[in-house]
Amino acid sequence: MGLTGNALHVWRRISSEDRHKMSWKDYCNWIQTTFSSPLTLQQAIESMDSLKQTGSATIYIQSFNNLVAAISSQGVQYPEAHLCVKFRQGLKPHLRADSDLFSFSSNLKQLQIETERLDEFHWRQNKALKQNNNSSNSNGNFRSSRSSAKSETSPM
Protein backbone atom coordinates (compact mmCIF):
# COMPACT_ATOMS: atom_id res chain seq x y z
CA MET A 1 0.00 0.00 0.00
CA GLY A 2 2.79 2.45 0.92
CA LEU A 3 0.56 5.17 2.37
CA THR A 4 1.66 7.21 5.39
CA GLY A 5 0.48 10.20 7.38
CA ASN A 6 -2.66 11.93 6.16
CA ALA A 7 -2.98 9.62 3.15
CA LEU A 8 -3.11 6.57 5.40
CA HIS A 9 -5.65 8.29 7.67
CA VAL A 10 -7.91 9.08 4.69
CA TRP A 11 -7.49 5.53 3.33
CA ARG A 12 -8.65 4.05 6.63
CA ARG A 13 -11.90 6.02 6.37
CA ILE A 14 -12.90 3.77 3.47
CA SER A 15 -14.63 0.64 4.70
CA SER A 16 -12.56 -2.52 4.67
CA GLU A 17 -15.05 -4.13 2.30
CA ASP A 18 -14.76 -1.25 -0.23
CA ARG A 19 -10.98 -1.30 -0.02
CA HIS A 20 -10.85 -5.01 -0.83
CA LYS A 21 -13.16 -4.56 -3.83
CA MET A 22 -10.91 -1.86 -5.30
CA SER A 23 -8.88 -2.79 -8.37
CA TRP A 24 -5.46 -1.27 -9.04
CA LYS A 25 -7.07 1.12 -11.53
CA ASP A 26 -9.71 2.10 -8.95
CA TYR A 27 -6.97 2.64 -6.38
CA CYS A 28 -4.96 4.88 -8.75
CA ASN A 29 -8.10 6.88 -9.56
CA TRP A 30 -8.87 7.23 -5.86
CA ILE A 31 -5.34 8.53 -5.19
CA GLN A 32 -5.59 10.98 -8.10
CA THR A 33 -9.02 12.37 -7.19
CA THR A 34 -8.39 12.46 -3.44
CA PHE A 35 -4.96 14.08 -3.41
CA SER A 36 -4.56 15.95 -6.68
CA SER A 37 -4.77 19.70 -6.65
CA PRO A 38 -7.91 21.36 -7.97
CA LEU A 39 -5.66 24.10 -9.39
CA THR A 40 -4.63 24.24 -13.01
CA LEU A 41 -0.93 24.60 -13.74
CA GLN A 42 -1.36 28.31 -14.49
CA GLN A 43 -3.30 28.88 -11.24
CA ALA A 44 -0.68 27.03 -9.19
CA ILE A 45 2.18 29.04 -10.72
CA GLU A 46 0.32 32.33 -10.16
CA SER A 47 -0.50 31.30 -6.59
CA MET A 48 3.15 30.51 -5.91
CA ASP A 49 4.16 33.91 -7.28
CA SER A 50 1.69 35.71 -5.02
CA LEU A 51 1.98 33.52 -1.91
CA LYS A 52 2.93 35.54 1.20
CA GLN A 53 3.53 34.42 4.75
CA THR A 54 0.86 35.97 6.95
CA GLY A 55 0.92 33.53 9.86
CA SER A 56 3.40 31.01 11.14
CA ALA A 57 6.22 29.63 9.02
CA THR A 58 4.71 26.17 9.42
CA ILE A 59 1.48 27.21 7.69
CA TYR A 60 3.41 29.06 4.97
CA ILE A 61 5.60 26.00 4.35
CA GLN A 62 2.56 23.77 4.05
CA SER A 63 0.92 26.13 1.54
CA PHE A 64 4.14 26.47 -0.45
CA ASN A 65 4.70 22.69 -0.57
CA ASN A 66 1.09 22.15 -1.69
CA LEU A 67 1.71 24.50 -4.61
CA VAL A 68 4.98 22.74 -5.47
CA ALA A 69 3.09 19.43 -5.47
CA ALA A 70 0.33 20.88 -7.64
CA ILE A 71 2.87 22.14 -10.15
CA SER A 72 4.87 18.91 -10.20
CA SER A 73 1.68 16.86 -10.62
CA GLN A 74 1.28 18.69 -13.94
CA GLY A 75 4.74 17.46 -15.02
CA VAL A 76 6.69 20.67 -14.28
CA GLN A 77 9.79 20.29 -12.14
CA TYR A 78 11.50 23.45 -10.92
CA PRO A 79 15.18 23.34 -9.96
CA GLU A 80 15.70 23.34 -6.19
CA ALA A 81 17.50 26.71 -6.31
CA HIS A 82 14.48 28.29 -8.04
CA LEU A 83 12.14 26.91 -5.37
CA CYS A 84 14.40 28.33 -2.63
CA VAL A 85 14.24 31.79 -4.23
CA LYS A 86 10.45 31.60 -4.60
CA PHE A 87 10.10 30.38 -1.01
CA ARG A 88 12.23 33.25 0.35
CA GLN A 89 10.28 35.85 -1.63
CA GLY A 90 7.07 35.06 0.23
CA LEU A 91 8.50 35.15 3.74
CA LYS A 92 7.73 37.89 6.22
CA PRO A 93 10.27 40.73 5.91
CA HIS A 94 12.16 39.91 9.14
CA LEU A 95 12.73 36.33 7.94
CA ARG A 96 13.43 37.26 4.33
CA ALA A 97 16.24 39.56 5.51
CA ASP A 98 17.74 37.06 7.95
CA SER A 99 21.27 36.27 6.81
CA ASP A 100 21.13 32.74 8.26
CA LEU A 101 18.68 31.74 5.51
CA PHE A 102 20.97 32.81 2.67
CA SER A 103 23.23 29.81 3.22
CA PHE A 104 20.42 27.57 1.97
CA SER A 105 20.33 28.39 -1.72
CA SER A 106 19.69 24.94 -3.18
CA ASN A 107 18.20 22.83 -0.39
CA LEU A 108 14.52 23.64 0.09
CA LYS A 109 13.97 21.18 2.95
CA GLN A 110 16.84 22.62 5.01
CA LEU A 111 15.70 26.17 4.19
CA GLN A 112 12.24 25.33 5.47
CA ILE A 113 13.57 23.71 8.65
CA GLU A 114 15.74 26.75 9.39
CA THR A 115 12.85 29.11 8.60
CA GLU A 116 10.62 27.33 11.11
CA ARG A 117 13.37 27.52 13.73
CA LEU A 118 13.94 31.25 13.18
CA ASP A 119 10.21 32.00 13.08
CA GLU A 120 9.75 30.20 16.39
CA PHE A 121 12.71 32.11 17.86
CA HIS A 122 11.31 35.48 16.71
CA TRP A 123 7.84 34.58 17.98
CA ARG A 124 9.19 33.66 21.45
CA GLN A 125 11.31 36.80 21.54
CA ASN A 126 8.35 39.03 20.65
CA LYS A 127 6.15 37.26 23.17
CA ALA A 128 8.71 37.88 25.92
CA LEU A 129 9.03 41.55 24.93
CA LYS A 130 5.24 41.99 24.99
CA GLN A 131 5.05 40.39 28.43
CA ASN A 132 7.79 42.70 29.70
CA ASN A 133 6.05 45.73 28.19
CA ASN A 134 2.69 44.71 29.64
CA SER A 135 4.12 44.28 33.13
CA SER A 136 5.92 47.65 33.00
CA ASN A 137 2.81 49.33 31.54
CA SER A 138 0.61 47.93 34.26
CA ASN A 139 3.04 49.22 36.89
CA GLY A 140 3.15 52.58 35.16
CA ASN A 141 -0.63 52.79 35.00
CA PHE A 142 -0.86 51.95 38.68
CA ARG A 143 1.56 54.74 39.60
CA SER A 144 -0.11 57.28 37.37
CA SER A 145 -3.54 56.43 38.76
CA ARG A 146 -2.20 56.81 42.32
CA SER A 147 -0.51 60.11 41.55
CA SER A 148 -3.61 61.47 39.78
CA ALA A 149 -5.76 60.45 42.73
CA LYS A 150 -3.31 62.17 45.06
CA SER A 151 -3.31 65.34 42.97
CA GLU A 152 -7.10 65.51 43.12
CA THR A 153 -7.04 65.56 46.90
CA SER A 154 -3.97 67.74 47.29
CA PRO A 155 -4.24 71.50 47.03
CA MET A 156 -2.41 73.15 44.17
Q: What is the pLDDT of residues 63-100, one digit of tens each?
A: 999 899 889 888 899 999 999 999 999 999 999 998 88
101-115 average pLDDT score: 92
At 152 the pLDDT is: 47
Which residue did the predictor score with more confidence, 88 or 151? 88
Least confident of 77-81, 119-123, 149-153: 149-153
**CA 8 to chain CA mean position, Å:** 22
The answer to whether the CB of 51 falls within 8 A of the CB of 90 is yes
3-state SS of the chain is CCCCHHHHHHHHCCCHHHHHHCCHHHHHHHHHHHHCCCCCHHHHHHHHHHCCCCCCHHHHHHHHHHHHHHHHCCCCCCCHHHHHHHHHHCCCHHHHCCHHHHHCCCCHHHHHHHHHHHHHHHHHHHHHHHHHHHHHHHHHHHHHHHHHHHHHHCCC
At 139 the pLDDT is: 56
At 145 the pLDDT is: 47
pTM of the prediction?
Answer: 0.65
- Give CA–CA dist 83/86, Å, rounded: 5
Closest CA to 95 of 75, 67, 74, 123: 123
For the cut 90, the answer to whether the pLDDT of residue 34 exceeds it is no
